[in-house]
Structure 1
């Protein structure tokens, strides 16, 4: 492939990172994206490149943002954990204490901790919902309140791919009166100057890159689905567009709050949030979490066979933790969250780095060669 247009700045110390990013376009099929690296709170690499549309007529710019999918789960968790610090939420209180309608059909013991660690047994909604239902907050919350768990809560874990944000967000709404997107904007993103959003204001839609994902929904497998097969299908495709297929580039999707799935932002914005976490929860006078809350938030809660992913996964309270087949550099203290297509936000408090990567391509999800190359270049430049 020919070289793609690129812009931005990079400290010469991290020339290998610039080269790896450029190679994503020439060797690894990257259509458009951006990276940002902060070390000790200083932005040392801020690069963007490629194109923001499928036709490759509009170049990616410094202000281009894009849907970063599950990277937003970590930001959703941060909002909830801030309310825990204030005493408005309790990690271990039954959710039905705040959400009475939820306390039925075997959900009486489910807590916020279960939700944040993917142990609630609610990765999918059983009742069929129409396409577009994911845009209606009340409709999704009501369906989850009626749903029986797919496994006994707390006894196993399975990635709550799309329900995570509605579950945590409904507790946040009932405890504070605000939404995930509102609190993220007012208490985290705006004070930090971080360009990240859950519910992108319509005035900002012009900056959004087209996400290159087939617009046709997959066909439901033939025959009757039941048990685990139904759970896994519904996790991704009930309602049909809940994962973004057919919707991801529509204004209705960008404006809605779907905290598990439709966060938008720049790589620089992601790195800025993680720079605060790498520094212990605060940076430049802006407090995100106390050191004590951050320590609790990054303790392992779930590790082992994942009922949805059908492989091992490892979670803290809303954050993904490193594991052998999916490391975040060499230091076990790192934490963050990947997003569909390979997008990534993470920090490593030991190396004092914070990193954001965004892309507009649904590339390999679990083992993504693009973000792996970037991670290797970061730590190679650090001499680790």
Structure 2
């Protein structure tokens, strides 16, 4: 038992010694670490101070360089401004002197011109007085004699001659004024006439453009009607119609084509007469040959295609006979029977539309319309 206690005590002593040694080692390590940290911190602080010092020196040098350059720039600018102002002042002085010299020269020339004009008027007056005197009397001598002696008849002759010259000059001036006024009135009249003609020309061109737009819009409307006949919905081509009423085809297609484009007579209005007369008749194209006029050819082709389609709408496919009523319409027609005619008619309409829209044909179309308007005026006068 005592042995165990002794061993325990000895072990505790050794453990205490080891702990003290570890503590001493730890304390020494901490002190060494603190010294290293202190040395590192001092090194960093030293480098930072050196960096700050170097940066301050660089900034100072840079600032001094900038200040030096700014001072040099200001000095150079002052020199340039001084030189520029000096030059400007000199130029302005020279310019003023030049202007004064020119004005003085102009005044001298103006005085010379006035003196010449006075002399010229004086000479002209003397010439007029001599021209009005048939005996070529020297007025100055007569007046001088009249002052020296009583020569009343001679003085009266001189006065009458002078009055005659003045009256003639006044008449010439008045005649000149009348001529100038007449010329001005003629010029104003000509200007009014030109302006009126220009306004009439613009008005006619505006009417022609409006008519072309009306016809091309009508063609678009007819083509939309063709699409609505072929398809249940014009934007869905797969939904085709099987049958349509003949009256629908007439009202949407053959009627408008006849009324607006292909009717070749004034009294034939069998299709419902949506307008008074077609362009074929109204523009006077019925008497023209298709070899001479492109539009005539296009309208005749459109007329034939339209007639072929119209015949298929009639009972028994009867053709129309001139001066007789239109044949009776079928109740309905199969779309497949008239589809090719509809497509061909659409193609012919597009050709007419392209012709109307072509700027190269504008003057030709304007000529058709002007001639048609002139013919209407002649008919009204009769």
TM range (shorter): under 0.3
Return the structure number with greater helix share.
Answer: 2
Greater strand percent: which structure?
A: 1
Greater CA radius of gyration, 1 or 2?
2
> RCO (CA 8 Å, sep 6+): is it higher in 1 or 2?
1
Q: With the length of structure 1 as denominator, give the TM-score of the two structures.
A: 0.19
